[in-house]
Chain A
Amino acid sequence: MIPVCHLADLPAGESVRIDTAPPIAVFHADGQLYAIDDTCTHQDASLADGWLEGCLVECPLHAASFDLRTGAPTCLPARRAVRTHPVTVEDGMIYVHHHAAEEGTAA
């Protein structure tokens, strides 16, 4: 379980990147919290920097788009899905659950 930040510090429409290996992006979108792998599966770009619209995030480099609920790309040039990770909130703190990334350092 990786602590991300206080819920109060992630307003709706915002995102934060955590420096796990590989990095994970956490989004507050559409009244929900979502966590996906941060790196676009097309080319090296951070999805935490992307454009959020509803449950979709658009990559800031080439406009590939991913569904935050499933990680699936919704348009080219991305073809592979990003992994999604469960998110919980405890005592106002956001946590991402991702065993493979536990070794990394949460920012």
Chain B
Amino acid sequence: MKSVAVIGASLAGLYAARALRAQGFDGRLVIVGEEHHRPYDRPPLSKDFLTGATADQGQLALADAEEIAELDAEWLLGTRATGLDLHGRTVLLDGGRSLATDGVVLATGATPRRLPGPAPTGTHTLRTLEDAQALRAELTRGPVRVVVIGGGFIGAEVASSCARLGHDVTVVEAAPLPLVPQLGDTMAGICSALHADHGVTLLTGTGVARLHDGGAGNRVTGVELADGRLLPAEVVVIGIGVRPNTAWLEGSGLPLDDGVCCDAGGVTPQPHIVAVGDVARVDGIRAEHWTSATEQAAVAAQNLLAGGTVATHRSLPYFWSDQYGVRIQFAGRRLPTDTPRIVEGSPDDRSFLACYERDGRTTAVLALNRPRPFMRLRRELARATQPVTT
């Protein structure tokens, strides 16, 4: 393989590029990124970057100048991929350009879902550095009423950051309780209680009918709920999930289904094309997690260079969230029927360790502000669920 194009210049794309080089690929490496920035870390955007604790965007960089030089890649930043010709092995780029390549790493990530209809000024989503800068600029002008639509991790982290900045915050969640798919009823209830601890209102079980704006100024004035209530707001943040960026691949012949379908090694039916990160549906599962993105990248790079699936990604799912000064960490594969049991600490103190159990066996572990025992159990769980390989 003489040339590889990595499409997507964020976490997964960078880690794939690193892995290619680390595994001995010394050919032409082109990294195409739609954003104008070199790869940066997104998790701080909803937390320390939004509150101003990490105001320097340089601190978000995922690779320093030395590493960028070592990577010896051609960077096409501010460039969008528009199509893929499988057989000609060509990536089409905006502006009518094209890129011939032997191998392709698809790492185009995902885009926040939006509400139907127009988005008045003052309406935000949070995914990119520019998104965070725009939201931060509005939040530093003085106290406002913020409505966060969506009570998942991003919504909760944004609500936490807004509350810390002194704003009046309401979170609207369509489900009866947020975070249930991730944590189950009991633990979701405990985590959702963090909002009330910090004076943030959580409204559940109601969807959003529409956004109100002031008319001529076209600035948001409030959120009308499906049950008719109107929540006045100067700033609205929409955190209702993401959609994988696959539109540009439609018609390419690659199987797409809420992501690029690939096997457990990140390999598509075309062995010279692999997918990693948020855009990849790996063996039927699309995991929007930082750690999976980095781990998938190493595996997919190995398979791409091998010309077929020689390795698979089977590590234990892990994610974390920082809200209201509480670090939430979760690892494992839980089913809705698994029962959580608190093994250390207390939910009342917002500091505890819980194990999810099935037939007397631990399937997953959740911690609030208990990093050390969490780490120990996460490692045990990883060992128990993975065959030891040499």
**What CA separation (Å) do A79 and B63 show in the bound complex?**
8
A60 contacts B64, C-beta separation under 8 Å: no
A45 with B294: in contact, given A51-B376, A79-B64, A79-B67 (CB under 8 Å)? Answer: no
**What CA separation (Å) do A28 and B294 show in the bound complex?**
31
A60 with B375: in contact, given A43-B41, A43-B43, A77-B294 (CB under 8 Å)? Answer: yes
- Residues facing B in A27-66 (CB within 8 A) are 43-46, 49-51, 58, 60-63
A43 with B375: in contact, given A62-B290, A79-B64 (CB under 8 Å)? Answer: no
**B374 in the interface (beta carbon within 8 A):** yes
**B232 in the interface (beta carbon within 8 A):** no
**B317 in the interface (beta carbon within 8 A):** no
- Categorize the interface residue count of chain A: 10 to 19
A interface SS class: loop
Q: Mark A61-96, 1 if CB is under 8 A from B, else 0.
A: 111000000000000110100000000000000000
Interface size for B (C-beta < 8 A) is 22
A60 contacts B372, C-beta separation under 8 Å: yes
A49 contacts B41, C-beta separation under 8 Å: no
A60 with B294: in contact, given A43-B41, A77-B62, A79-B64 (CB under 8 Å)? Answer: no
Identify the closest chain B residue to A45 (Cβ): B371
A46 contacts B371, C-beta separation under 8 Å: yes
A31: shortest Cβ distance to chain B, in Å? 21
**What CA separation (Å) do A63 and B371 show in the bound complex?**
12
**Residue of A43, A44, A51 with most partner-chain B CB within 10 A:** A43
**B379 in the interface (beta carbon within 8 A):** yes
**B44 proximity list for chain A (CB < 8 A):** 43
Identify the closest chain A residue to B367 (Cβ): A60
**A46 proximity list for chain B (CB < 8 A):** 371
B138: shortest Cβ distance to chain A, in Å? 24
**What CA separation (Å) do A46 and B371 show in the bound complex?**
9
**A61 proximity list for chain B (CB < 8 A):** 320, 327, 329, 371
**B206 in the interface (beta carbon within 8 A):** no
Identify the closest chain B residue to A15 (Cβ): B372
**B67 proximity list for chain A (CB < 8 A):** 79
A49 contacts B375, C-beta separation under 8 Å: yes
**What CA separation (Å) do A60 and B18 show in the bound complex?**
23
Identify the closest chain A residue to B63 (Cβ): A79
**B48 in the interface (beta carbon within 8 A):** yes
B374 contacts A60, C-beta separation under 8 Å: yes
**What CA separation (Å) do A58 and B375 show in the bound complex?**
10
A49 contacts B294, C-beta separation under 8 Å: no
**A63 proximity list for chain B (CB < 8 A):** 291
A43, A49, A77: the one contacting B371 at CB < 8 Å is A49
Identify the closest chain A residue to B376 (Cβ): A51
B380: shortest Cβ distance to chain A, in Å? 12
Q: Mark B368-385, 1 if CB is under 8 A from A, else 0.
A: 000110111001000000
Identify the closest chain B residue to A60 (Cβ): B371
Identify the closest chain A residue to B372 (Cβ): A49
**What CA separation (Å) do A76 and B43 show in the bound complex?**
16
**A62 proximity list for chain B (CB < 8 A):** 290-291
Give 8 closest A-B pairs by Cβ, nearest first.
A60-B371, A49-B371, A49-B372, A60-B375, A51-B375, A79-B64, A61-B320, A60-B372
Q: Which residues of B contact A (CB under 8 A)?
A: 18, 41, 43-44, 48, 62-64, 67, 290-291, 294, 320, 322, 327, 329, 371-372, 374-376, 379
Q: Which residues of A contact B (CB under 8 A)?
A: 43-46, 49-51, 58, 60-63, 76-77, 79
13 A-B pairs whose Cβ atoms sit less than 8 Å apart in the complex: A44-B322, A45-B371, A49-B372, A50-B375, A51-B379, A60-B329, A60-B371, A60-B375, A61-B320, A61-B329, A62-B290, A63-B291, A77-B294
**A60-B375, A63-B291, A77-B41 given; 18 more Cβ-contact pairs under 8 Å:** A43-B41, A43-B44, A44-B48, A44-B322, A45-B371, A50-B372, A50-B375, A51-B379, A58-B375, A60-B329, A60-B371, A60-B372, A60-B374, A61-B320, A61-B371, A62-B290, A62-B291, A79-B64
